C-alpha cells in the first residue's frame, strides 16, 4: 500500500487533484514517517544491541514498534489517530534519546534535529484540527528542538551513552536523515498548498462558467415506487472529465466557496422540482439536497433558503435538506432554531450518515428530523457483520420510537435489500436501483424502473412477507 503511494508520488500523480485529495497526501506523509522509524530505529537498535547499550537499544526499538503500529493503523484508515500517536510518541522518544545524546568532547548533539520533520509533519496533518494539535503541539516540538540544540542537558554515564567514535558518524547520519525527511515533508506540504490553490481557482471558474451539474440518485420505497432523488454534485471539468465531490467539497468548505456552490445547488434543485411539478408522472418526486456545515452556519441561511424556494415556485414539502451528524456537534441551539424555521416553512430534514457520528439521542429528540439515513458503511457488510446487523436493527427501532422515517443508503445487493426489508427498513437508495444519473438519463430511468431486476426482486420479496 505504502509503496503504491510512494510510486505515485514519484510519477507525479500527487500533483494532480482529481486523483488525490488532501487525505491521501496525509497518508503518504504518515507512511514515510513510519518507514523512516522502522529503518532508522531498526538499524540503530541492532547496532546498540550488538554494543550492549540497552537503554539506547530499547529507545530505538520503541521507534520501530511505533512505526509498525502506525503502518497497521494507516492501512485501517485511521490517519488522524496515527498522526496523534506518532506526534506524541515521537516527542517523548526523541526527547529520551536526546537525553542520552548529550554533547561530549568531539561529539555534538544531533538527535534533536528529528524534531524538525515531526513539527513540520504535525502542522501539515493537523492543519484543519483544533488549536492544540494545529498550533500548540508543533510549537512545543519546535521548542524542544531549540531547548536541546545548544544545551548540555542529559546523562553522561559511559555505560548508558554511545561511544564517541560512533557518535561523530551518527551526528552526520542524523543530520542528513532529519533534513531529508524534513525535505520530503516540505515537498508534500508545498504540493498540498499548490493543489488547494489551483483547485480553488478552478472551482471559481467552474462556478462562473457553469461547469457544475447535479446527478440524481433515485430513492425507492418498499412498494417499489421511486418517491424522490438525492441531488449529488458533479464537476464537469473541460479537460479532466467528471470530478466527484469527494475531491473538491472539502476545499470548497475550507475556502468558503461552498456557499455560492450550495446556493447554486439549491436553485438548480428547486428549478428541477418546478419542472417535475408540471408532469403528473414526476409531480410527486422530492429532492434531497446536501447542506454543508459552513452553509448552515451562515446567519442568513434560513432567509436565503426561503427566498430561493419562494422565487423558484417549488413546493417546499418536496425539498429535503440533508445534514450529517458531525454538523450537530457545534452550536446545537442555533441549529435547532434554523431547522425549526425551515420545517415551519414546509422543508423537511434528513440526518445523513446516521450512526457514524455518535449523536446524542437526547439531541435527536429535539431536532426536527423527518428522516434518518443509515450510513452505507453499516449496509456494506450487513450480511456478514454481526455488529452492523445489530446497529441496523437498533436504528429501525429507534426511528420508530422517534417517529422518523428510515432510509438505507448504499444498498447494492438484493440480499441487503431483503435483510433491510425484513427488519422493517422500508426506504432505500443505492446502486442496486441505480447510480446517480444525469437528469436526462434519470428521467428515462423513471418509466423503465418497473421492468428492472431490482424492482422485480422487491416485489417478489414483498409477497413473501
Ligand atoms: P453522501 O451525501 O453520503 O452521498 C452518498 C454518496 O454515496 C454519493 O457519493 C453516492 O454516489 C454514493 N452512493 C450511493 N449509493 C451507493 C452504493 O450503493 N454504493 C456505493 N459504494 N456508493 C453509493 P458522491 O456523489 O461521490 O458524493 C459524496 C459526498 O459528497 C456526499 O456523500 C456528500 O457528502 C457530498 N456531496 C455531494 N453533493 C453535494 C452537494 O451538493 N453539497 C454538499 N455540501 N455536499 C455534497
Ligand atoms: Ca447525502
Ligand atoms: Ca450519506
pLDDT tier, 354 (very low <50, low <70, confident <90, very high otherwise)? confident
- The answer to the question of residue 206 being in a domain is no
Is 372 a pocket residue for ligand 1 (Cβ < 6 Å)?
A: no
Which residue in 44, 144, 46, 161 sits closest to 88, CA to CA? 144
Whether 181 and 240 map to the same domain: the answer is: no
Between 392 and 366, whose confidence is greater? 392
Overall average pLDDT of the 35-54 stretch = 95
Whether 352 and 244 map to the same domain: the answer is: yes
**Structural domain that includes position 380:** 211-464
- The answer to the question of residue 265 being in a domain is yes
Whether 132 and 218 map to the same domain: the answer is: no
Is 244 a pocket residue for ligand 1 (Cβ < 6 Å)?
A: yes
Which of 197, 232, 249 terminates a domain? The answer is 197
What percentage of residues in the chain have a pLDDT greater than 70? 94
User: What does the pLDDT read at residue 3?
Assistant: 58
Ligand 1 pocket test target in 235, 246, 290, 442 with most atoms within 8 Å of CB: 290
- The answer to the question of residue 204 being in a domain is no
Q: Which atom of ligand 1 is nearest to the CA of 214?
A: 41
| C-alpha dihedral sign at 351, 352, 354, 356 | negative
Whether 56 and 129 map to the same domain: the answer is: yes
Between 345 and 154, whose confidence is greater? 345
Overall average pLDDT of the 78-102 stretch = 95
Whether 323 and 255 map to the same domain: the answer is: yes
Q: Which residues pair with 104 in a beta bridge?
A: 107
User: pLDDT, tens digit, for every residue of 244-298?
Assistant: 998 899 889 988 999 999 999 999 999 999 999 999 999 999 999 999 999 999 9
Overall average pLDDT of the 382-405 stretch = 92
Overall average pLDDT of the 27-40 stretch = 92
Q: Which positions ≥6 away from 248 have C-beta within 8 Å? A: 17, 199, 203, 235
Measured in Å, residue 465 CA sits from the centre of ligand 3 at: 28
User: What does the pLDDT read at residue 27?
Assistant: 86
Instruction: Find the range with the poorest average confidence among 27-36, 206-215, 328-337.
Output: 328-337
Between 23 and 258, whose confidence is greater? 258
User: pLDDT, tens digit, for every residue of 113-172?
Assistant: 999 999 999 998 898 889 999 999 999 999 999 999 998 888 888 888 888 889 889 999
Overall average pLDDT of the 342-353 stretch = 96
From residue 359, how far is each of 3, 60, 314, 351 by CA, in Å?
37, 41, 32, 10
Measured in Å, residue 244 CA sits from the centre of ligand 1 at: 9
- The answer to the question of residue 202 being in a domain is no
- The answer to the question of residue 249 being in a domain is yes
Overall average pLDDT of the 15-36 stretch = 75
Which of 197, 229, 254 terminates a domain? The answer is 197
- The answer, yes or no, to whether residue 444 has pLDDT greater than 80, is yes
What is d(CA 18, CA 327) in angstroms, rounded to the nearest whole number? 26
Overall average pLDDT of the 66-78 stretch = 90
Which of 197, 231, 247 terminates a domain? The answer is 197
- The answer, yes or no, to whether residue 465 has pLDDT greater than 80, is no
Cβ-in-10-Å burial (0-12, 13-18, 19+) of 20 comes to: buried
User: What does the pLDDT read at residue 463?
Assistant: 73
User: What does the pLDDT read at residue 302?
Assistant: 98
- Count of CB atoms situated within 10 Å of the CB of 305: 26
Q: Which residues pair with 217 in a beta bridge?
A: 230
Whether 180 and 231 map to the same domain: the answer is: no
User: What does the pLDDT read at residue 4?
Assistant: 60
Ligand 1, atom 44, residue with closest C-alpha? 292
Measured in Å, residue 241 CA sits from the centre of ligand 3 at: 24
Instruction: Find the range with the poorest average confidence among 336-340, 363-367, 418-422.
Output: 363-367
User: pLDDT, tens digit, for every residue of 181-227?
Assistant: 999 989 888 888 888 888 899 999 999 999 999 999 999 999 999 99
User: What does the pLDDT read at residue 358?
Assistant: 62
User: What does the pLDDT read at residue 6?
Assistant: 57
Is 238 a pocket residue for ligand 1 (Cβ < 6 Å)?
A: no
Whether 309 and 386 map to the same domain: the answer is: yes
Is 69 a pocket residue for ligand 1 (Cβ < 6 Å)?
A: no
Q: What angle do CA 220, 226, 231 make, to 5 degrees?
A: 85
Q: How confident is the prediction for the chain on average, in pLDDT?
A: 90
103 phi and psi angles, rounded to 5 deg: -60, 130
- The answer to the question of residue 368 being in a domain is yes
User: What does the pLDDT read at residue 5?
Assistant: 56
219 phi and psi angles, rounded to 5 deg: -115, 130
Whether 163 and 232 map to the same domain: the answer is: no
- The answer to the question of residue 292 being in a domain is yes
Number of domains in the chain: 2
Whether 190 and 228 map to the same domain: the answer is: no
DSSP symbol at 162: P
What is d(CA 421, CA 416) in angstroms, rounded to the nearest whole number? 9
**Which of the ligands is closest to the CA of residue 379?**
1
Measured in Å, residue 95 CA sits from the centre of ligand 2 at: 46
Instruction: Find the range with the poorest average confidence among 246-250, 279-283, 356-360, 423-427.
Output: 356-360
Ligand 1, atom 3, residue with closest C-alpha? 353
Is 290 a pocket residue for ligand 1 (Cβ < 6 Å)?
A: yes
User: What does the pLDDT read at residue 360?
Assistant: 65
Is 367 a pocket residue for ligand 1 (Cβ < 6 Å)?
A: no
Whether 193 and 285 map to the same domain: the answer is: no
pLDDT tier, 9 (very low <50, low <70, confident <90, very high otherwise)? low
CATH number at residue 450: 3.20.20.450
229 phi and psi angles, rounded to 5 deg: -150, 150
Measured in Å, residue 359 CA sits from the centre of ligand 3 at: 15
- Count of CB atoms situated within 10 Å of the CB of 418: 17
Overall average pLDDT of the 361-370 stretch = 83
Task: Decide: 56 and 20 in contact? Cβ < 8 Å.
Answer: no
What cell was used for 411?
Answer: 444498498
Measured in Å, residue 406 CA sits from the centre of ligand 2 at: 14
Is 67 a pocket residue for ligand 1 (Cβ < 6 Å)?
A: no
Q: Helix, strand or coil for residue 132? A: helix
What is d(CA 190, CA 449) in angstroms, rounded to the nearest whole number? 49
- The answer to the question of residue 203 being in a domain is no
Whether 229 and 287 map to the same domain: the answer is: yes
Overall average pLDDT of the 442-463 stretch = 85
What is d(CA 117, CA 186) in angstroms, rounded to the nearest whole number? 8
Whether 122 and 167 map to the same domain: the answer is: yes
Amino acid at each position: 500500500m505504502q509503496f503504491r503511494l510512494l510510486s505515485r508520488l514519484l510519477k507525479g500523480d500527487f500533483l494532480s487533484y482529481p486523483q488525490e485529495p488532501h487525505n491521501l497526501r496525509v497518508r503518504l506523509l504518515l507512511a514515510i514517517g513510519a518507514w523512516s522509524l522502522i529503518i532508522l530505529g531498526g538499524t540503530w537498535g541492532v547496532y546498540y544491541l550488538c554494543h550492549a547499550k540497552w537503554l539506547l537499544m530499547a529507545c530505538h526499538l520503541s521507534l520501530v514498534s511505533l512505526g509498525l503500529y502506525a503502518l497497521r493503523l494507516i492501512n485501517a484508515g485511521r490517519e488522524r489517530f496515527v498522526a496523534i500517536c506518532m506526534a506524541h510518541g515521537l516527542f517523548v522518544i526523541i526527547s529520551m534519546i536526546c537525553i542520552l545524546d548529550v554533547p561530549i568532547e568531539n561529539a555534538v548533539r544531533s538527535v534533536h534535529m528529528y524534531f524538525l520533520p515531526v513539527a513540520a509533519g504535525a502542522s501539515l496533518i493537523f492543519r484543519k484540527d483544533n488549536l492544540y494539535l494545529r498550533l500548540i503541539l508543533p510549537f512545543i516540538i519546535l521548542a524542544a528542538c531549540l531547548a536541546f540544540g545548544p544545551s548540555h542537558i542529559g546523562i553522561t554515564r559511559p555505560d548508558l551513552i554511545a561511544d564517541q567514535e560512533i557518535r561523530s558518524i551518527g551526528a552526520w547520519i542524523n543530520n542528513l536523515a532529519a533534513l531529508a525527511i524534513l525535505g520530503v515533508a516540505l515537498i508534500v506540504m508545498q504540493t498540498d498548498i499548490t493543489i488547494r490553490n489551483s483547485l480553488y481557482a478552478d472551482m471559481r471558474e467552474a462556478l462562473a462558467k457553469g461547469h457544475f451539474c447535479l446527478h440524481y440518485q433515485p430513492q425507492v420505497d418498499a412498494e417499489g415506487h421511486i418517491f424522490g432523488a438525492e441531488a449529488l454534485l458533479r464537476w464537469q471539468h473541460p479537460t479532466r472529465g467528471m470530478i466527484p465531490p469527494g475531491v473538491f467539497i472539502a476545499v470548497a468548505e475550507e475556502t468558503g466557496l461552498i456557499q455560492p456552490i450550495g446556493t447554486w445547488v439549491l436553485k438548480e434543485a428547486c428549478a428541477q422540482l418546478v419542472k417535475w411539478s408540471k408532469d403528473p408522472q414526476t409531480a410527486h418526486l422530492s429532492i434531497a439536497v446536501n447542506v454543508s456545515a459552513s452553509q448552515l452556519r451562515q446567519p442568513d441561511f434560513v432567509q436565503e433558503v426561503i427566498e430561493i424556494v419562494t422565487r423558484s415556485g417549488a413546493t417546499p414539502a418536496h425539498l429535503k435538506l440533508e445534514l450529517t451528524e458531525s454538523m450537530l456537534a457545534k452550536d446545537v441551539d442555533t441549529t435547532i432554531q434554523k431547522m425549526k424555521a425551515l420545517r415551519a416553512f414546509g422543508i423537511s430534514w434528513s440526518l445523513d450518515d446516521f450512526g457514524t457520528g455518535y449523536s446524542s439521542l437526547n439531541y435527536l429528540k429535539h431536532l426536527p428530523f423527518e428522516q434518518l439515513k443509515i450510513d452505507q458503511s453499516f449496509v456494506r457488510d450487513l450480511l456478514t457483520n454481526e455488529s452492523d446487523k445489530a446497529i441496523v436493527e437498533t436504528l429501525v427501532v429507534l426511528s420508530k420510537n422517534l417517529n422518523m422515517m428510515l432510509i438505507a443508503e448504499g444498498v447494492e445487493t438484493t440480499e441487503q435489500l431483503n435483510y433491510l426489508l425484513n427488519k422493517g427498513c422500508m426506504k432505500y437508495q443505492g446502486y442496486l436501483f441505480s447510480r446517480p444519473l444525469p437528469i436526462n438519463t434519470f428521467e428515462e430511468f423513471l418509466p423503465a424502473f418497473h421492468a428492472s431486476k431490482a424492482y422485480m426482486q422487491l416485489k417478489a420479496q414483498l409477497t413473501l412477507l
